Structure 1
Amino acid sequence: MTLTAEPLTAEAFAPFGEVIETGGPFVTINEGACRRFTDLATFDIAEGRAGLSLFQAEIRAPPYDCTLLERHPLGSQCFIPMQSSRFLVIVAADAGGVPGTPRAFVAADHQSVNIARNTWHGVLCPIAGSGLFAVIDRIGAGGNLEEHRLGRPIRVTL
């Protein structure tokens, strides 16, 4: 299967989570030198707490062959590039315990994503930038990772 990554928009990504970006309402703070865009994501955490981690991912050159999808049944997972960075987001709704039809998005250098709890997704896949991401996700006891190896890779092109 070959997917062409589509631009990441809030409307197109809504079934899989939230797009986080500036551009909406804000409050001016710090003596007028800063815009605060408040409460941009809903962290869905069960039986644990939200934690902040840093991920250092390798930059991957398109086309990208996705061989693994994973999901987190106990919490959403938010990916925030630490520097201007583009990345692929491969997602699929659940279809009876396995990934359904996948979709691929390319996040612009000003966008982040909060992937909804139980949404199948590919691994972190930066295609430009430093590969350094802040990740907000569930910290706690219990299994919060399910993996599904694909019989055939999904090739993602731009």
Structure 2
Amino acid sequence: MKLKVEPLTPAAFAPFGEVISTATARDEYKINLGTTTRFHDISRVDVGDDGGTPIISIFRGTPRPMPIEIRMMERHPLGSQAFMPLSGQQFLIVVAEGTEAPAPEKLRAFISDGSQGVTYAKNVWHHPLLVLEPKSDFLIVDRSGPGNNLNEVDLPMVNGAPVTLGWPRT
């Protein structure tokens, strides 16, 4: 099964969380004597009600072999997780709706234009970081705290083969 890669838009990604970009700011205004534009409240951070705290990290990803195989998915049941590319690099996003382990036909794939990031909503199934360029750094905002905030599942094979991404676009 080959998974089609879609452009990343706020409307298409809404069932899974929020797109992070200047275009998704809930407010925009000048600060610092008019020399800086603040794109305010672009995405919300959900750290749950159980003593979690928001943290900021940097992840450095490396490309996977082509064709990219989607063999597993993960989710974070206690908090959201945001990814923002630091060098304007495109990256791929694979997500699935629902709370049950995702079936391959329920997967959706998106590509960021390099100026967009994503916030995965709490409990949304997603594939770990899928970068296209060596040493791709991302600013990550997520939850630290008590409890198990990671579930992983292996995806079943389709006709004896793993799901692959239609990337480069095929």
For the criterion TM > 0.5, the same-fold answer is: yes
Pairwise CA distance, 1:126: 1.2
Shift of 1:150: 1.1
8 Å Cα contact 1:61-1:127 kept in structure 2: no
What is the match of residue 22 of structure 2?
22
List gaps (5 residues or longer) in structure 1.
none
Write the distance in 2 (CA, Å) between the matches of 1:49 and 1:110: 27
Moved over 3 A (4+): 60-63
TM, length-normalised to structure 1: 0.92
Could you tell me how far apart the structure 2 residues matched to 1:125 and 1:136 are? Answer: 17
SS where residue 37 of structure 1 aligns? strand
User: Structure 1 residue 69: deviation in Å?
Assistant: 0.3
Pair 1:141 & 2:146 matched: yes
Alpha-carbon RMSD across the aligned residues, in angstroms, is 1.6
Change (3 A) 1:62 1:32: farther
Q: 1:51 aligns with which of 52, 55, 58?
A: 55
Contact 2:102 2:155 in 1 (8 A): no
Give the TM-score, by structure 2 length: 0.86
Name the one with the larger strand percent. 1
Structure whose CA Rg is larger: 2
How many percent of aligned residue pairs carry the same amino acid? 40
Residue deviations 1:76-100 (CA, integer Å, cap 9, x gap): 10001111111111000125x2115
Shift of residue 35, structure 1, vs aligned partner:
1.3
- CA distance in 2: counterparts of 1:105 and 1:66, whole angstroms: 13
Structure 2 runs not aligned, ≥5 long: none
